[in-house]
Structures are given as C-alpha cells and as structure tokens.
Amino acid sequence: MSLAEKYPEEVKDILSRYPAEFKRSAVMPLLYLAQRNDGYITKAAMQEIADMLEIGVTDVGALIGFYTLYHDKKEGKYRMQVCTDLPCALRGADEFMNALCSNLGIKVGETTADGLITLEAVTCLAACDKAPMFQIQKADGLEYHENMTVDRTMELVQALREAGQEVS
Amino acid sequence: MAKQVTLTIDGRQITAPEGMLIVDAAKMANIDIPVFCYHPKMEPVGMCRMCLVEVGRPMMDRTTGKPLLDDNGQPKIQFGPKLETACTNPISEGMVVLTSSEKARAGQHSTVEFLLTSHPLDCPVCDKGGECPLQNLTMGYGPGKSRFLYDEKMHLAKHYPLGDLIVLDQERCIQCARCIRFQDEIAGDPVLGFDERGRSTQIVSLSEPGFDSVFSGNTTDICPVGALTTRDFRFAARPWELENQPSICSQCPVGCNTTFNTRREAMSDGKIVLKRVMPRQNEEVNEIWLCDKGRFGYHYVESPERLNRPQVRKEGKLSRSTWEAAAQQAGEAFARAKSNLLVIGSGRLSNEDLFNLKTLAEQVGGKAVLYSEMGGGDLTTLVGVGSPAAEIHGSNLGRLGKGSTIVVVASDLYEEAPIWYLRIKQAAQRGANLIVANPRATKLDRYASVVVRYAYGDEIKTVQDLAHKGKAGEAFLQAENAVVFFGGDGLGLEASTAVANACARALTEAGHAGKPNSGLIGVWPRANDQGAWELGLRPADDLQAEFDKAEAVYIAGADPFGDGALTVKSGKRKPFLAVQELFDTETAQLADVVFPAQAYSEREGTYISGERRVQRFHQAIPALEGAKPDYAITSLVAQHMNILLEGTSASVVFEIMAADSPVFEGLSYERLAQVVPQWPIVGRADMYYGGTTYHNRSGMGIQLSSAAQRGDKIDLPKQPKPASLRPQENKLLAVPVTRLYDCGITLATSPLLKARIGEPSITLHPSAAAKLGVQAGQHVSLTLDGASEDVLVKVDDTIATGVVLVPRSMGLPIVSPTEATVKAPAPSPKSKTAAAR
Amino acid sequence: MAPILLRHNNIPDIAKLDVYQKNGGFEAFRKVVTQMKPAEVTDVVKASGLRGRGGAGFPTGMKWSFIDNKSWPHYVVANADESEPGTFKDREIMESNPFQFLEGVAIASYATGANAAYVYLRGEFHPIAETLNQKIREMEKAGFLGDKLFGSEYGLRIYTHLGAGAYICGEETAMLESIEGKRGMPRIRPPFPAVHGLYGKPTVVNNVETLTNLPMILANGADWYKTMGTPDSAGVKVFSLSGRVRKPGNYELPFGTTFRQLIYDHGAGVQEGRPVKAIMAAGASSSIILVNEKVLDTPMDYASVRALGADLGSASVIVIDDTVPLDWVINKTIHFFRHESCGKCTPCREGTYWMSTIIERIEHDHATQADVELLLNVAKQMQNKCLCPLGEFSTMAVVTGIEHFRPEFDAKVTEELPGAEREAAESKAVG
Ligand SMILES: Cc1cc2nc3c(=O)[nH]c(=O)nc-3n(C[C@H](O)[C@H](O)[C@H](O)COP(=O)(O)O)c2cc1C
Ligand code: SF4
Ligand code: FES
C-alpha cells in the first residue's frame, strides 16, 4: 500500500507546511514517514515520493546518502548510535564503546546475530555534558540515553530483546 | 545593452558588459583562467575552487562616493585577504584582477594538488588522455611530486554504468557536478545526482532505465576528466589519433552541426573508420549539444549488410550485375515509360540527389514525388522563419525569450527533434510564451504557459481558436516574435497539410509572417524533407494509385513497401521498379534493378533543416567499395536516357541547382562554409572551459529567405478540410506517433541502442486496456488494414480512451490514422499449465 | 541575578503556557504587534547590542535591516541545528523554555515582515520537534499564532522542519537548501539570505539562543540589556561547558565572565584536580588555546577571546587537561570534519580526507616529523580557499594545535623512519 493511501492525514499535514509551488520541501518529512513504515527506505517509496512531489527519483535518493539518519538498507531493529566525538570521548566514550562491543559481541558497524542491535559510532549529539551517551534510532523515531554505564546499557538491550519477543 | 565597465586583468584593460563574470571577461580577452566546475552554459556554482584569482577593487571615499586616489593620482586598489573565484564574481568598474600572480598560482596549484589526491594518474590509458583539462592543468599548475601516499588513495569502481550508454569511472570523477547540472538545468531531465557526501560523494542515476535522457552523451563532452565516457567510444581510440571531418546530423530536421572523428585502423585492414560523432558548435542551431540519436546512430554505415553491388532481376531472381548493365536496363525502362515514369525520393537524400532525380523525371515528362507522410512544406517556403538582418546565417531560437511566443502543434519534440525541444525549453525559461497543443501529454508541457489538449480530429479548429482566443490568442497576437512548429503527431498527410495551412494562416493574419525569428517550422520526419519541398517535390495524394498506374518507378532512399505505404496487390501488374538504397529493404527485394548507394558520411552534399538553413556535410570516410552517391547513380541512369546530369561533383550539382532556382540564388559551397565568431568560445587548448565540442571552422550554413520575408505576395492555398477519422465508441482508432529510437535503417543496426529501441509496442489508455482485458507488458495482436502483428502493450493515462498509439518505423503498417483491432492472444496451453501450477 | 534564558532554573514549569504567560509571556509580542512598527523593533534590537549566538556573533538588528523590502514574501528561519561538538544549549532552551524561544521567533518574524517561520531542528531532536509542534498548536489556540493577531493585520505561522543528520545544515545557506528538499550543500554568497534566501526570497536566519533573548529585550528595553555583559558583547550568554571538568553543563552568565570563573566556580574545576592544558572555546571549530594563568583570567567576550587568537563562537567551552594527548584531540576533530564535509568544494572534501590519513599515521606511530609538517602544510593550504566556513573550521585545531604543542608532536614521531620502512613508504608515493 502506498504512503498516501496508508497515511493520508499525515501526508496532507506534511504538504500543508510548505508553499504549494515548493512542495519539494516535503521530501525530508516524507522520507521519515517512509522509513517509519518499512524500517528503511525502499526504492518503491522513493519513487512514490518522487511522483508525489513531481521530482526525479534520483533527487529523492540523493538525500538518503547525504543525511545519516536515512537508511536504504535493512539493518538491526534498533540502531544504537554512541557519540564518540571529542567532548564525549573526553568523558570516556571510547572506553564505553569498546566495552559495549565486547558485551554485545560485535564490532562498530555490525549487527547482533538476532538482528536486534546495530552498533554505530556517531558525531556530537548535543549531549556532551551527559556522556557517555547514545541514541537509539528505530523506525518511528529516536530517543536519547544519557549518563549511561555499560551495565545499564546491557539491561536496556535485554529489555528491548524481551519486548521484541513478546510482540512476535 | 548592458552598461559597459572597464577593468584590468593581468595588466590588460578590458571593457565588457557589467555583471559579466570575471572568467568570461578574461576569456574574451584571450586570458584563460582554469576552471573545472564552471561552464559558460550553466549557472556558476563555485565548487571546484580552481579559478582562484586575486581581485582588487577601487577604494571608495564614503562621503563623496568617488574612488580614492593614490599619490600618483591613480585609484587606490584594495585587494581582499582571500583569493576569489573568478567564476562567481561579476566584473565591476575599476576592478583589478590578477590571474597568475604568485598568490593566484599558489591557489590554483593547491586545488590541482587536492584533486590529484583522489584522482588516479592513469592518463596513458584514459579515454580523455590528450583532451583532458585536468591533465593539461596538472602540467600547467600541478605539483611536481605527489605528497599523498598512493596506498591511501580511495579505490573505487572504474566501470560503473550509469545507463546503457554512459559509463562512470568513480576514481576519476572530481565531483564538479557539471553532468548533474547539465541534466537538470539544460536538458531538464534531472536523472543524475550525488550520492553520499564528503570524500564519498559519487554520481548516481536512479531512473528506470538508468540515465534516462536523450541528451546523455553531452555529459561526456563537458566532463572535465575522463570520468564519463560513452559505451561507444570507451577505449576505442586515443583522441590525438583522430582525424575530424565536419558534418550535419542526418537523423532529424534540426540539422545539428557535427564532427565525425575517424581513424585508420589496423583492425579494419588499415581502413579509415568512424570512431565517434561529436557536436560542432553552431549557436544558432544546436549550440554545443547533440542528442543521443545523433551521437550514437551512425553505425549503420559500417554494417556488413550494406548493399555493395548493383543487381538486376533475372528469371525472377535478383542477381549481381555491373553498373553499366544495371543503369542501362533502368534507363531504357524509364525512357520507355516517359510520362508514366514515377520517381519517389525521400528526405533522407541530399539536395543534390533530389535535384538530379527531379530533373530526370521532368526531362521525360514523368512525375517526381516526395516520399512523406507529412505535408505543408510548400507553406514553410512561403512563411518559414525569417532571419534577422543582423545575423547572416539565419534565425536563432536562442534569441527567443520575453516577448516571444512559440506554438507547438501536433508534435512531440522530445522524441522527434530533441535539440529543438531543448532550445524551446530554454526559450520558455527565458520568458517566452510557450503554447503546446497536442492530443496527448508530451514532455514539453512542463514548460508551457498554455497547454491545449484537443481531441483527435479537432486539430484545425484548435489552431484557428488558438490564434485568436483566450490567453494563448493574446500571447500569439501580441508577440514580438512568433514561431509555430507543426508536426504529424497522430496525423497523416492530409491532416498535417491542413494543420500547416491553419498555422500559416494564423501567422499571416497576425502579421508575423516574414518577420525575423518568426514564422513556420515543420517538424519533418527526415533530415532533408524541407530540402525536397524547396526543390519543388511534393508528396503524392495517393501514392498507391500513382504507383499502380505507372509503367516504371524509380525509388531512392525510401522503403514504402516496408513501411506499409505501398503494397503489391495480387493479380495486379507491377511496374518496372528500380531502387537505390543502402540496405536490402523490402522495397529493394521487389525491384527489377537495385543500385547500392553511399551513406552520407561517405560523400559530400547539403541538407536543408526545418528552419530552412542550407548546410554542408563532408565526406568523412572512404566510401564502401561498390556503392555510389545517389546523385551519381541518377546521372548514370540518365546517360542511358540521353539526358545529361552532373554525376561527378556534388558542388557542381549544387551550382546548377542554385542557378536553376531563385530560392538558392547566390548560394555556393564556399558561402555555406562561412563562419562567424561565436560565444562561448569553445574547443581551444583550454578544453576545461567549453568541453570537447568542436570549434566550428567549416561553416554555419545559410538560411533561405521565405517568400514573405522577400516581400512576395503570399497566396496561401485554400484551407483544406480533411474528413479526419475520429475515435468512435467501441472502436479503436490507431494513430501514428514518432519515437526517437525506432527501427529506421539508421538505428536498427546499432547494438548500442537496441535496448532503447525495444520491441514494437502500442499504447492504450488504462481503461481501454481494461476493457479489452489486456495488461501492460502483455503481448497482443494488433490488426491494421487487415494485417496483424504481435506487439507489446503499454498504458498511458494521459491519452484518449478511444485511440491506440502506434509508433512509426517499427515495422507496423501505419501511415495515417486508421481503424484498429487489438486482441489478446488465446493463452497457449503451456502458459495455462504454468498458471495452474 | 535571575536567568534571562534558562528561566526554568527559577520557574520550573515555565514550559507550560499558563505559567509562561503568568510570568509575562507573550506580552512583548503583543506589544510589538499592537504598538510598534517593524522598523522600530529592529531599532530596539540594534540598540541592545544583541549579537548572533550561532557562532559568527553578527549584530542581530543589523542583519534584519539588510532584508530586501522590494521582494516578498519574507521568511524567518530559526537555526536549531545545534551540531557543533560541545554545544548543547539550544536543546536545553527548547526543551525547558520553549515558549520564550517561540515568542522570539514571532518577534523576529514581525520585525522582518515574515508571515511564515521555520524552525530547523537537527534530526536527532525529533522528540523536541514533537513538543514544539504541540506548543505551536497551543499558541494557535491561544491566539498567539494565526491570522490577524491581537486584532492587527499581521499573521504568522511557525512550522518545524527536521534535518536528518548533517552538521553542515547548521550553515545557513545549507539549511535553506535542506528546507527546500535538497542535499544540504552551502550556496555561494553573495547573494546573502537577506536578499536571496528560502525559495529565493529574503530570509533571516537566527540561532535559537539569539531569538530567545528577544522577548526580554523588547519587554525591558535595550538599555536594560546593555547593563549586562561588556560594551563589545552585551548581555548574557549560555556557556556550554564540557570536557574534563567536574560539573559540565550549561551556564548562563554575562559576557566577560572569565574562563577561570566558568571552569572553577561553575564547573567545579578539573577532574582529579589536574591542570587545564588547553581550551577550545567554540567547539571543534575552535583554535586550540594554550592555557596559562593569564588565559584563565581572560574575560569571555568576543574581543578578548579573539585577542587570544581564537573565537568565542557559540561559546562551547571544551576543557582539555594534561592527561590528554594533543594528537588525539586533533584526530577527533579531523575525523569529525571529514565525516561532516558536504563534499561540494575541493579543498574541504579532499583536504579533510588527506589530513585524516596523516593524523591516523601520526597517532599510530607510523609517522615522521615530515608528516607533522605535511599535516600543518595541508591545513594551511586549505585555508581561505573553501566555499564555506566548515572547511576553514576544520583547519583551526590542526594549525593551532601543532603550532602551540609542537614538542608534543615531535616526541610522538620519529625523526626519520628506519631505512626499509621509509623506502617502502616513499616508493608508494606517486611521482
Ligand atoms: C559549518 C557551520 C555550522 C553551523 N552550525 C550552526 C548551528 O548548529 N547553529 C547555529 O545557530 N548556527 C550555526 N552556524 C552559523 C549559521 O550559519 C548562522 O550564522 C547563524 O545561524 C546565524 O544566526 P545568529 O546570527 O543568530 O547567530 C553554523 C555555521 C557553519 C559555517
Ligand atoms: S567547505 Fe566543506 S562543507 Fe563547506 S562547501 Fe566546501 S566541502 Fe562543503
Ligand atoms: S570554482 Fe570557479 S571554476 Fe570551479
């Protein structure tokens, strides 16, 4: 089912925020919508958005590689994005990340065998005073986890895992 | 005219229009500032940082607003702390620019060094080697020894196909975005983009099919490195080994100026062969661009299937003969037929060929006709676009903008004449009023201020209304310049003649006829149809009837039997038939005598474009052994009819022709070879500026004046009222449409374009398809005038429900609108079992 | 002194509309719309000495006065991209004092004649955008947004627009591209946004903190505002303090507060009592300041920090103590800029990548002194040649870091590589 059919209200609301002759502006919110729907952005969704906004599909796809929060591949259900930028690293983010890697048994950029977590290193998230910290990006948005320890992170992972099992 | 300002570049005083970019002002004064991302045809973006120069501006006294003077009474010049990009900064009064000071050089140096950190140094094996701006600039501006460790270079895909025609070498790309911007700004097909960012930025195309644009080849000309190459030329030759010969594209009536690159090849037994087709600058015709059909559709010349010896029919079978015997047989038959001789020539032939054909027919009292499914060329000779006095060569669509109105009727220019599409799109973007009237949606609609969608059969009334009523009428009547393009989309000969007449009337009544850059242009199916009209050739109202009553028929450059324009009715007597052709066409197979003709690239001649510009093409490669130019063949045949026709030199034929007709008065091959300086300046040593387009040294052609421009009294023929077929309920009307890539003989043999040509297909409205129980992608049986063909179904919801679009030149017998039936084939037992499983 | 921006520190529930209103909320906006001409508002802001808090410190009132009144409509864009490493103040303002920020957007819009304003938030601020949308709806209901506000002819709508992970979109022209639905790549300037901005129309881009100052300035007057801070840098600033301090966080203080006061009085000093070795005062884009006692006593205002050869920028003070190796710091900053370079212009795209390969070598002990020299040289070669400031920023820490801490680098690298290794390295260099 197309985005326009599945989320008619939201699509309408998104389009209403921009002048009608510049509806191309709606491409970023629509890409978020597509990502929420499929977990990542499919070629079909790119085409639908392109048609809706009357732009080329290449112009839609060109955004995905530019903006790091868009993904055109399926990976872990949760992307755990640890800030390892300078301010966080001055407060132990690198060590935190290393510990997470060994606890999860994966390297940075990899996904746990159960497909639950993809671990990524990212640049500053504007939480420098609350390091170590990470955000979890999932299909429908993201949330910050600040002043974290390895133990509390592993508890969170466990909770996410269990929540997933309940649903499926 | 813009205000002129005076500035100093490298110590030289230059006066140029205010607002011109520094880089262009320098170029005009022969000072080359190196650029990569800047291209004179596109908006500046200032991204590559190659054009860094020192810019000083006069210091101003704040109170008086006058320049401050130094002790010597000279204006004080203040140089900024930073180097500036010459490609984004406009010139201003008193500016001082240093393009090769130590500081500027150092800046340019560092940009080259930065680029080389990720660019391979594989010039010796690169297609661009020898015509590569980066290579040249590296010599001129680059560092001696790289300080970048080779191991740390990025290793990326060297053969990344962006589509069937263009390949990207990701390592060589320097991210200048010229290709992306060309597709977006100039072609209007934004099918290229950047993916990723930073050092990982790469060119991609996500369209289906990849790089879906008929202008794709141009990106390889303007790519300043060897990153984009055509599938055609890739690794085919080194640019410096190539010879070049000027030519004219023979694919459509635009008449783009081209250059054939050739090379003597060991692989081809030391023969000189065509390596590629490049654009040749003519700002009044094609600027520096070519469409992909023109660029890639030349391989037919090398086809092993070319006819290479005369044949005559013996005991019912065509067999080898000599020129002498074949010419004698044909000549005697024609002489015998006298007034019952019918000569059929097409707009594929040059003026010289057509002139000889026509003269031959006239000499025995026979009839020469133009093989064309589109009419109205007599009207373009009357009210065709006029040339402005200032431009010796002719009209220039590039001058149309605000105040002009352009009308396009019954034509899909993107498919039929892509460079006109591009130029009209540009004119509309400059502010010209564009009115597009067509029975179905076309790509040009996007740029139109008025789109008129009429029902099939309503075309005449539509044109009549258009010129008077509403917003369109107003724009048309009040325009300073009005140009009307008419074509044959969905029309046959009769209807297109009527459309042309209505257009000519509208132009005349509004007072536009005869004005410079105003008038009528025919979107002809062939490159030299207009030439045929100028020579007085006309299509036959009923070609079949003419054929049936003729005693002898002489067909050149046409395949009416293959196209379904002629059929041999069983039991009917067939006239004697002589055919001169490149290939063994269906028509050739029916002939009594067949002559092998030379391709236009093997000889010289002239074509007349749709804008009525006479242009010369030259011989680029040695002719195929055994073939002769069409005009020479006709001369040979004429000898056996005791008629003297020039047969050895095209230029002499042209002279005779020019002497014979007032339209060509004063024209000669020499005059056609005149050139004027053009802007932008391209094709010099600094290829980074304009690209690899060829500088025009061989002529820009000359436009014929129209009768209206000469001030002759214009007697338009009576407005014909054809009884057009209209779609009817429960019946399908087949209408002919033209696609750029078809099975015409010049394309069908090109392996490169095979995927783009595809298989024969028809297009239906989705609801019509549903009613017939067929789906897109399915094969059906299409019946036209009793003949059935297996075709693929496509759907398009912008077309009328009662029609089926049938492409011309795809082996389907469609000449003019006709009734059609479409049937889904009974499912074969095999596919049934597949479905059951 | 009561906070002016981080007012939630005093009034915990100020994020609630009724609480905000009880504390004078939207009175300034009502006043300007009903009693002042747009140009008068601009004059007050000019007189207040308010300078942009997004980094460049450009006088806000002057920026507004450049707006082209021959071309319409106008737009206001609030820069809530906040992606400079070490900066986290706008986030706190929007989370905890959202109405004051939105009122600031409204005042700026009125002053510049905009009927539509966009708040561009970095994609990671998705939850904040949701809250702001909520608050915007509350304002619409309460009659603070919409048509004919306060019975006047003036109308305004505010929309949020989410980025999606690109630091460069904090640069104002890249931000406009991004709102237009394109890759966030900076435009060449001029023309400046005040003439050719969003959708080609005159546009003012201001930082969240800049805008949040406006309601108080318009309520209390320019003179009141100038009583705080220094003559060169009027008013208060939210300093984002991070790095090796005991109490990192946002501190709202008047301009002119010294580094020492910020680090020791507010930040409770350096962890484990170590000495401060270096400071980056404007996040990763900063020059690295070599710290001594005198530096610690430097007042933090635009002019004084510039006198140290650095910039105050967005006042994101990253504290580096003597346990931290400088090449590691530089590697982090180069890594950041290489990752965030948009790729549009050559020096930044290629230069950040090149610098990253060299610093990696240095950090992994495969480098010689020549490499340090090369790194410095490449950074300098990039300077003044990039299309936008990001590329320039990327060189700041490199150049100043090497210049100030040369001995540390020298100790890290060998004078020359041992014979065989050097040959191998050289043979790989392209000739
Ligand atoms: C690379 C780069 C990143 C920037 N990031 C931000 C940012 O995150 N937030 C911000 O307010 N300004 C940022 N700026 C500054 C803006 O371009 C712009 O100057 C500012 O938003 C103007 O607002 P102000 O005058 O209120 O400071 C950045 C500039 C550059 C060059
Ligand atoms: S300096 Fe960097 S971020 Fe700025 S335009 Fe150039 S590549 Fe993009
Ligand atoms: S920046 Fe001027 S030519 Fe590229």
Residues B439-477: pLDDT tens digits? 999 999 999 999 999 999 999 999 999 988 888 899 999
Ligand 2 pocket member C344 (CB < 6 A): yes
Torsion angle of C-alpha atoms A69, A73, A76, A77, degrees rounded to 10: 70
Q: Write down the pLDDT at residue A83.
A: 98
Residues in chain B within 8 Å Cβ distance of A56: 189-191, 193, 206-207
pLDDT in tens, B578-594: 999 999 999 999 999 99
Q: What are phi and psi of C356, to 5 degrees?
A: -65, -35
- B7-50 pLDDT tens trace: 999 999 999 999 999 999 999 999 999 999 999 999 999 999 99
Contact status, residue B772 vs residue B764, Cβ threshold 8 Å: yes
Helix (H, G, I), strand (E, B) or coil at B221: helix
Q: How many residues does chain B have?
A: 837
Q: Are A141 and C126 in contact (CB under 8 A)?
A: yes
CA distance A165 to A158: 11
How open is the CA angle C59-C61-C64, to the nearest 5 degrees? 110
Of B192, B196, B207, which is closest to A65 when you measure between CB atoms?
Answer: B196
What residues contact residue B436 under an 8 Å CB cut-off, 6+ apart? B407, B408, B442, B444, B445, B448, B450, B451, B452
Residue in chain C lying closest to A141 (CA): C126
CB B569 within 8 A of CB B417: no
What does the alpha-carbon distance between residue B39 and residue B57 come to, in Å, rounded to a whole number?
25
Q: Return the bridge partners of C245, or none.
A: C270
Q: What are phi and psi of A83, to 5 degrees?
A: -75, 120
Closest chain C residue by Cα to residue B50: C346
Query: Which of C88, C90, C183 is closest, CB to CB, to A127?
Result: C88
Residue C8 corresponds to which tokens in the numbers above?
């939630």
Query: What six digits make up the tokens of B504?
Result: 């000519």
Count Cα neighbours of C150 within 13 Å in the Cβ-side half-sphere.
Answer: 15
Q: In what order do the strands lie in the sheet with B243-248?
A: B243-248, B257-265, B271-279
pLDDT in tens, B714-763: 899 999 998 878 888 888 999 999 999 988 877 877 778 888 888 999 99
Question: A168 pLDDT band (50/70/90 cuts)?
Answer: very low
What is the DSSP secondary-structure string of B336-365?
HHGGGEEEEEETTS-HHHHHHHHHHHHHTT
Which residue, among B769, B767, B787, B786, has the nearest Cα to B778 in the 3D structure? Answer: B769
Q: How much is the pLDDT for B149?
A: 77
| Distant-in-sequence, close-in-space partners of B233: CB < 8 Å, separation ≥ 6 | B127, B220, B275, B276
User: What is residue B186's DSSP assignment?
Assistant: I
Query: Looking at residue C423, what is its pLDDT?
Result: 58
What's the confidence (pLDDT) of residue B392?
62
- What average pLDDT does the segment A51-78 reach? 96
Residues with Cβ < 8 Å from B75, sequence gap 6 or more? B58, B59, B67, B68, B69, B94
Instruction: Give the SS3 label for residue C239.
Output: strand
Tally: H helices and E strands in chain C: 19, 9
- Hey, is the C-beta of C181 within 8 angstroms of any chain B C-beta? no
C389 lines ligand 1 (CB under 6 A): yes
Place of tokens 């020059």: C287
Which residue from A minimizes the CA distance to B204? A58
pLDDT tens digits for B228-276? 999 887 656 777 788 999 999 999 999 999 999 999 887 778 889 899 9
- Tell me whether residue B388 is exposed, middle or buried, using C-beta atoms within 10 angstroms of its C-beta: 0 to 12, 13 to 18, 19 or more: middle
What are residue B472's DSSP bridge partners?
none
Q: Does the beta-carbon distance from A58 to B204 stay under 8 Å? A: yes
Chain C residues touching residue A18 (CB < 8 angstroms) = 159
Q: Are B294 and B251 in contact (CB under 8 A)?
A: yes
Query: Which residue, among B649, B496, B605, has the nearest Cα to B255 in the 3D structure?
Result: B605
3-class SS string, chain A = CCHHHHCHHHHHHHHHCCCHHHHHHHHHHHHHHHHHHHCCCCHHHHHHHHHHHCCCHHHHHHHHHHCCCCCCCCCCCEEEEEECCHHHHCCCHHHHHHHHHHHHCCCCCCECCCCCEEEEEECCCCCHHHCCCEEEEECCEEEEECCCCHHHHHHHHHHHHHHHHHHC
Confidence category of residue B837, pLDDT binned at 50, 70, 90: very low
- So what's the pLDDT on residue B750? 78
Q: Average pLDDT of chain B?
A: 92
Q: Indicate if the pLDDT at residue B390 is higher than 60.
A: no
Q: Which two tokens stand for residue B752?
A: 């490169």
Chain centroid to CA B605: 18
Does the beta-carbon distance from A58 to B196 stay under 8 Å? no
Spatial strand order of the sheet with B576-581 comes to B317-320, B311-314, B593-596, B576-581, B552-556, B341-346, B367-371
Comparing CA positions, the residue from B387, B427, B394 lying closest to residue B516 is: B387
Strands B271-279 and B166-168: unpaired
- According to DSSP, the residues that pair with B203 across neighbouring strands are B194
Q: Count Cβ atoms below 10 Å from residue B308 Cβ, excluding itself.
A: 12
Gap between the Cα atoms of B816 and B739, Å rounded? 15
- What span, in angstroms and rounded, lies between the C-alpha atoms of B500 and B383? 11
| Sign of the torsion formed by the C-alpha atoms of B225, B230, B234 and B237 | negative
Cβ-Cβ contacts under 8 Å, C319 against chain A: 90
Long-range contacts of B153-156 (CB under 8 A, 24+ apart): B153/B117, B153/B118, B153/B120, B154/B118, B154/B199, B154/C353, B156/B202
Atom of ligand 2 nearest to the CA of C388: 4
User: Which value does ipTM take for this structure?
Assistant: 0.95
Query: pLDDT class for B138, splitting at 50, 70, 90?
Result: confident
Picking from C421, C375, C414, the residue whose alpha carbon sits closest to that of residue C397 is: C375
* Section B529-534 average pLDDT: 98
How near does any CA of chain C get to the CA of A91, in Å? 6
In our burial notation (b when 16+ CB lie closer than 10 A, e otherwise), range B515-545 reads bbbbbbbbbbbbbbbbbbbbbbbbbbeebee
Distance from CA of A123 to the nearest CA of B (A): 15
By the 8 A CB rule, do B726 and B818 touch? no
pLDDT in tens, A75-130: 999 999 999 999 999 999 999 999 999 999 999 999 999 999 999 999 999 999 99
Whole-model pTM?
Answer: 0.95
Give dist(CA B45, CA B530) in Å, integer: 41
Residue B637's pLDDT band (boundaries 50, 70, 90)? very high
Please spell the DSSP secondary structure of C314-357, one letter per residue: T-EEEEEETTS-HHHHHHHHHHHHHHH--S-SHHHHHHHHHHHH
Structure tokens at B4: 């002129």
**Strand B243-248 with B228-230, pairing:** unpaired
Higher pLDDT, A43 or C425: A43
Section B119-126 average pLDDT: 80
Name the residue facing A61 among B189, B195, B197 (closest C-beta): B195
How is residue B178 written in tokens? 């010229």
Q: Which residues contact B548 (CB under 8 A, 6 or more apart)?
A: B569, B572
Q: Do B354 and B360 touch, CB atoms closer than 8 A? A: no
Percentage of chain B modeled with pLDDT above 90: 76
Among all ligands shown, which has an atom nearest to the Cα of B45? 3
Q: State how far the Cα of B149 lies from the Cα of B170, in Å rounded to an integer.
A: 19
Q: What's chain A's length in residues? A: 168
How far is the centre of ligand 1, averaged over its atoms, from the C-alpha of C169 (Å)?
Answer: 9
CA of B514 to the centre of ligand 2 (A): 53
Q: Is residue B709 within a helix (H) or strand (E), and if so which, with residue range?
A: helix B707-710
Q: How far is the CA of B225 from the centre of ligand 2 (A)?
A: 21
CB contact under 8 A, A43 and B195: no
pLDDT band at B561 (very low <50, low <70, confident <90, very high): very high
Per-position DSSP letters for C134-189, written without gaps between them: HHHHHHHHTTSSBSSGGGSS--BEEEEEE--S-GGGGSHHHHHHHHTTS---PPPS
Q: Please tell me which residue of chain C has the smallest CA distance to B81.
A: C384
The residues, any chain, with a CB within 8 Å of residue B60's CB and separated by 6 or more, are: B66, B67, B68
* Distance between CA atoms of residues C360 and C363, nearest Å: 5
- Measure the CA–CA gap between C190 and C174, rounded to whole angstroms: 14
**Is the distance from CB of C386 to CB of C395 less than 8 angstroms?**
no
What does each of the 431 residues of chain C score in pLDDT, given as a tens digit? 799 999 999 999 999 999 999 999 999 999 999 999 999 999 999 999 999 999 999 999 999 999 999 999 999 999 999 999 999 999 999 999 999 999 999 999 999 999 999 999 999 999 999 999 999 999 999 999 999 999 999 999 999 999 999 999 999 999 999 999 999 999 999 999 999 999 999 999 999 999 999 999 999 999 999 999 999 999 999 999 999 999 999 999 999 999 999 999 999 999 999 999 999 999 999 999 999 999 999 999 999 999 999 999 999 999 999 999 999 999 999 999 999 999 999 999 999 999 999 999 999 988 999 999 999 999 999 999 999 999 999 999 999 999 999 999 999 898 765 555 655 555 544 43
